[in-house]
Amino acid sequence: MNTTTINNGTTPIASQRLTHYNPEVEQRVQGWLASGQLLAWIPILSQENFPDVPPQILKFADRHQEAMRWPIHRPEGLLALPDGITGWLLPADADDTDVACGVWNGEVYILGVQDKRTGRQQTLLGERFDIATGQADDPEQSAV
């Protein structure tokens, strides 16, 4: 078992790598937490997160995601997120992210989001954007 401790001058938080984890995402999130910068969590408005809400209501609410930013001031603030709901995690001044976060039974999970139909990685704004190449993924192309 590989564990990591994040300590930003407050309470250290131990983390454990899951079977399917992305080391680049792990390093990025650890950097955000260690820097002490303000983060934001935005619920992902999906049928999976909100099974009893009609799809048209979720689509309407999704257009107002900016108003749903939940501020995360310290790493411990992640534990105050609503249990069982996945949301996007990003620095408060950022527009897009490919990092998702959720709390289940008192444990924080950091993960990526994939389209269940295509297997392609998703971001808050839609397609995954490659900063290195300046190109967005082609949504018509199937995953390899």
The CA distances from residue 45 to 17, 96, 122, in Å, are: 26, 16, 14
Lowest mean pLDDT of 35-39, 74-78, 109-113, name the range: 109-113
Query: Please, are residues 98 and 114 in contact by the beta-carbon 8 Å criterion?
Result: no
CB 113 within 8 A of CB 89: no
For 12-16, what is the mean pLDDT?
51
Beta bridge partners of 102: 109
| Residue located via tokens 């997160």 | 49
User: Which residue's structure tokens are 């501020």?
Assistant: 71
Q: Residue 78 is encoded by which pair of tokens?
A: 């992640």
Residue 66 has pLDDT above 90, yes or no: no
**What is the per-residue pLDDT for 16?**
52
pLDDT by residue (tens digit) across 47-63? Answer: 888 999 999 998 898 88
Residues 100-108 have a mean pLDDT of 91
Contact criterion met (CB below 8 Å) for 98 and 128: yes
Percentage of residues in the chain having pLDDT higher than 70: 73
Task: Give the tokens for residue 61.
Answer: 């609410």
- The pLDDT, as a whole number, for residue 54 is 92
Q: Looking at residue 127, what is its pLDDT?
A: 56
**Which residues make Cβ contacts (< 8 Å) with residue 138, sequence separation at least 6?**
none
Per-residue pLDDT, 49? 85
pLDDT tens string 15-48: 554 545 677 888 889 899 999 999 999 998 888 8
DSSP sequence for 55-79:
HHHHHHHHTTGGGGPEEE-SGGGGG
Do the Cβ atoms of 38 and 92 come closer than 8 Å? yes
Residue 1 pLDDT grade (very low, low, confident, very high; cuts 50, 70, 90): very low
Determine if residue 9 is left, alpha or beta; phi over 0 gives left, psi from -120 to 50 gives alpha, anything else beta.
left
What's the average model confidence in pLDDT over 70-87? 93
